[in-house]
Amino acid sequence: MRKSRVCHLLAVADCLLFWVACPKRQPAEAWIPRHANWQDPEVSTYDVMKGDTVVGQSVFTIRSAIGQARGPAPTGNRIWEITGVNSSSAQGLHDSVCATLSFDDLKSLGSFQIRNAGSRLDTVVSRYASGTVQIKASGGQAQTLVVPVNAFDNSILTAVIRSLDLKPGAHYLLTSVASFGPWTKPADVQVLADDTVSVPAGKFACHKVSLEIAGWPMHLWYEREAPYRYVKFENTVNNSSAVLTSYQVSRN
């Protein structure tokens, strides 16, 4: 009986030590729009890794533009345009996205995505308006999903997270939209700690950030100083990662 009581007290002590040692998880904040800290224009290139092997490449371009006729933004309005091109040497897959956001408050306007699997080519167009997103895939019927103001195409979330105030302990809830689903899921963003990482583009002092979508955990690293570049991605579940290899800003 005495031994049982001692074990119980030790277990309680362990719980108390764990509670004291671990910082409290901050409650999630609503999406707080702020002016983007992106360069205009900028091009970021990443190696996509499986373990220690390079299996693909991602190239993201961010620039400001002027809305055109028949586009998701009113003609003549200034917008942000994010273009991503991904290739996989291992699977022969290629996909690309061009997403647009309003210039002043970073709200989603629309996107056009292409997925090329060699023998199959799929496209999908998304348009955001008045708390909804209308999604139309090639050869299918348009579907309308109800979304909050903090909804963004899943393929550009890494760029959107960069525009948040990534102070240690900060916690945000965004909404991820998978146009090829189509579905929406909460995207839980938590700033974990300061960290230093080395990638082909150099050594960076970063904020380490966790991102969880539909129970799928990931870690991302963002530069602590301006322009707050997205430096590294890591998914320990499937042993995949992406690392920054180059970053260019137009001098025009």
Q: Per-residue pLDDT averaged across 86-99, rounded?
A: 78
On whether the pTM is more than 0.85, the answer is no
What does the pLDDT read at residue 76? 72
Binning the chain into helix, strand and coil, the percentages to the nearest 5 are 10, 55, 35
What's the CATH fold of domain 28-249? Answer: YmcC-like fold (2.40.360)
Can you give the residue ranges of every domain in the chain? Answer: 28-249
Dihedral, 6, 8, 14, 18 alpha carbons, nearest 10: -160
Span 124-141, average pLDDT: 91
For residue range 222-237, list pLDDT tens digits in order: 999 989 999 999 998 8
Give pLDDT, residue 14. Answer: 34
DSSP tag of 77: -
Check whether 113 has a pLDDT greater than 80.
yes
Q: Which of 74-88, 155-169, 206-220, 222-236 shows the lowest per-residue confidence on average (mean pLDDT)?
A: 74-88
CA angle 153, 178, 110 (to 5 degrees): 40
Residue type, 29: E
